[in-house]
Amino acid sequence: MMRQAGRYLPEYLELLSQTDFFTVCKTPALACEITLQPYRRYPSLDSLIIFSDILVIPVAMGMDCRMEPKVGPQFDFALETPEDMEKLNLTPDVEATLSYVFDGIYWTRTQVKNEVPVIGFSGAPWTLMGYMVEGGAVRSFDRAKKWLYLYPEASRKLLAALRDIVVEYLVGQFDSGAPLLTVFDTNCGEIPPRLYEEFCVPDLKYIATEVKKRRPGALVSVFPKDGEMAVFEDSDFDVVGVSWTSSPAEARRSCPSKTLQGNLDPHLLYADPDQIRERTVQMVKEFGVPKYICNLGHGMVPTHPVEGPKAFMEGVDSVSCEDAPA
């Protein structure tokens, strides 16, 4: 489980009540502590995702960000017109501005004595652009969508700058000890497939190709939320994340050669443990164990009960054992 996963845990809320979100992100020992919290509770987890946020990239470009309780991330300013891009550093020194994330990964790996892998991640260019144009979390990304039509050249310039930063950032995370790197394109389904293919798919494919060219051992994963997965069949991504809106069979048809990751409806975690286990087993069987990473089909929310993930993991463990060769 990932994507704002920690905040349903009382120990996360306790730690966050003493400080603020981006201070935690920027303090490797605290980022490590939060990364380890779910692992202490659920030792059967077989990977950890580094505690951070996709918005550290805009912060590195000069857009300061606060995490407002109950509102979400809020930047100091929004990119209202292309002229506002002058306020940004489009080519920040990734090592200098984001080394706190690299240190957090290294620290976490050391703490777990390399017994369990740490997953790194980044926002995809289009998802990052969405937050930057809107100035923070919003219900619909109307202004960002308008940018693609009204200012296509400026949009391409911003997306290309983000693409290059994402590559550097993922390479840095790999070098600090994260063997699998996920690119979250949460806003993929916000625009029509044609527009997505024009503005986003080439950059995403480039990111996968370039990271693997520079670091042949790296595994890269993409989560094109609510979008067409088939465009990634012909890409260097190793893993494609599946939203809860797709069926496992549909996902396998779209990307037959890829490892798939997903896609339990996060709302199921409110149900009684028996139902959670049953539906999890059903999902794993539908995907099939080979070339599959069990996960939710989107993020957790603060009101999820702590018992939900436990039942989910029990379901996963039971079916994997049943299907393992003798």
Find the part of the chain contacting ligand CP3 (CB under 6 A) among 67-75, 83-91, 142-150, 193-201: 67-75
Closest contact distance (angstroms) between CB of 322 and ligand CP3 is 28
DSSP 102-136: HHHHHHHHHHTTTSS-EEEEEE-HHHHHHHHHHTB
Closest contact distance (angstroms) between CB of 202 and ligand CP3 is 21
Instruction: Give the whole-angstrom CA distance, residue 234 versus residue 95.
Output: 31
**For ligand CP3, the closer CB: 183 or 319:** 183
3-state DSSP call for residue 70?
coil
At 251, the amino acid letter reads: A
Closest contact distance (angstroms) between CB of 278 and ligand CP3 is 25
Q: Is 2 in the site for ligand CP3 (CB under 6 A)?
A: yes
Q: Is 4 in the site for ligand CP3 (CB under 6 A)?
A: yes
Q: Is 101 in the site for ligand CP3 (CB under 6 A)?
A: no
**For ligand CP3, the closer CB: 199 or 319:** 199
Residue 19, class by beta-carbon neighbours within 10 Å (0-12 exposed, 13-18 middle, 19+ buried)?
exposed
Q: Give the residue among 183, 70, 72, 49 at the shortest CA–CA distance from 134.
A: 72
Site for ligand CP3 in 240-299 (CB under 6 A): 299
Q: Give the residue among 133, 144, 137 at the shortest CA–CA distance from 191.
A: 144
Q: Is 129 in the site for ligand CP3 (CB under 6 A)?
A: no
Closest contact distance (angstroms) between CB of 85 and ligand CP3 is 21
**Would you call the peptide bond into 263 cis, given omega within 30 degrees of 0 as the criterion?**
yes
Site for ligand CP3 in 185-244 (CB under 6 A): 186, 225
94 and 169 in contact (C-beta within 8 Å)?
yes
Q: Is 184 in the site for ligand CP3 (CB under 6 A)?
A: yes
Q: Select the residue interacting with ligand CP3 from 33, 37, 39, 53 (CB under 6 A).
A: 53
**For ligand CP3, the closer CB: 10 or 290:** 10
173 and 105 in contact (C-beta within 8 Å)?
yes
Residues that bind ligand CP3 (CB under 6 A): 2-7, 16, 21, 49, 51-55, 67, 72-73, 121, 137, 184, 186, 225, 299
